[in-house]
């Protein structure tokens, strides 16, 4: 299975791209938006495509061509304004869903945020970010794609433990990006996660066991 990683220059995206490259069951195409971001990947023998989530659906569909899965691990980040939140986390995500459908990619894994599915859980400080995540996820659930929506808690750069808690509703918590990347990898072919959404934080259960019993 060839997987397009959207946001492959990001912190989760980089870890996931290397996990996919090292896995015998997958090949990977890293979607980045600048030549200089592609260079280290190309030096490591990893296929890259340059595309921008602010570009056209056609550009994004071309990037996804001949892939069997898309992982959306992009985000506008905390350093930009809410204009970019709207354009990347909401419209960019929805355009990527349309692009996947146009390119006949069936599988789509979304990195969302913990509690995005319940308005009463949204953090007061970053409500517009939660609204963007909420409606992107809602569009994905209404699409024809075989989706998995993963809603991690606060992301850390601590080493992964390989153990998680994954459930429909979890209030608060955090998780290393390494464990999120591994959870995405193991979700790709775990049918129990197909057309399912779940919150994700660090926990006591090995990742594959947690995914098969959500
Ligand atoms: P990150 O390091 O900020 O990576 C995001 C990536 O998105 C970057 O590589 C960035 O590209 C890319 N991107 C931004 N705008 C783009 C555009 N117009 N076209 C193409 N790519 C674009 O994020 P992360 O820490 O890995 O987190 C990944 C996801 O987790 C995000 O969706 C975030 O909202 C979500 N999340 C975060 C937290 C948290 O605690 N921070 C909690 C839950 C969920 P450049 O490298 O070119 O800038």
The owner of tokens 């090292």 is 22
* Distance, CA of 44 to CA of 199 (rounded, Å): 33
The number of the ligand 1 atom at minimal distance from the alpha carbon of 72 is 32
Q: Of 117, 55, 142, give the one whose Cα is nearest residue 91.
A: 55
- The structural domains of the chain, ordered by start, are 2-212 (3.40.50.720)
Question: What DSSP string describes 8-33?
Answer: TTSHHHHHHHHHHHH-TT-EEEEEES
Q: What is the pLDDT of residue 11?
A: 98
- 82 an active-site residue? no
Testing ligand 1's pocket by substitution, the residue of 7, 73, 91, 113 carrying the most ligand atoms inside 8 A of its CB is 7
Each residue's pLDDT, cut to its tens digit, for the chain (214 residues) gives 999 999 999 999 999 999 999 999 999 999 999 999 999 999 999 999 999 999 999 999 999 999 999 999 999 998 999 999 999 999 999 999 999 999 999 999 999 999 999 999 999 999 999 999 999 999 999 999 999 999 999 999 999 999 999 999 999 999 999 999 999 999 999 999 999 999 999 999 999 999 999 9
DSSP one-letter string for 82-127: HHHIIIIIIIIHHHHHHHHHHTT--EEEEE--TTTT-GGGS-GGGH
């Amino acid at each position: 299975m060839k997987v397009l990683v959207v946001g492959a220059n990001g912190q989760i995206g980089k870890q996931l791209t290397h996990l996919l490259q090292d896995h015998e069951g997958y090949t990977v195409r890293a979607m980045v938006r600048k030549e200089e971001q592609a260079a280290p990947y190309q030096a490591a023998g990893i296929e890259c495509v340059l595309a921008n989530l602010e570009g056209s659906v056609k550009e994004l569909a071309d990037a996804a061509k001949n892939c069997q899965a898309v992982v959306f691990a992009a985000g506008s980040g905390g350093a930009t304004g809410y204009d970019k939140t709207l354009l990347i986390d909401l419209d960019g995500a929805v355009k990527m869903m349309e692009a996947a459908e146009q390119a006949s990619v069936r599988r789509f894994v979304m990195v969302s945020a913990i509690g995005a599915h319940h308005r009463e859980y949204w953090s007061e400080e970053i409500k517009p970010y939660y609204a963007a995540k909420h409606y992107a996820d809602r569009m994905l659930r209404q699409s024809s794609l075989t989706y998995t929506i993963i809603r991690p808690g606060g992301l850390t750069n601590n080493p992964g433990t390989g153990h998680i808690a994954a459930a429909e509703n979890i209030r608060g918590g955090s998780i290393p990006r390494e464990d999120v990347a591994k959870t995405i990898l193991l979700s790709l072919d775990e049918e129990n996660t197909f057309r399912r959404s779940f919150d994700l934080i660090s926990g006591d259960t090995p990742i594959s066991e947690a995914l098969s019993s959500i």
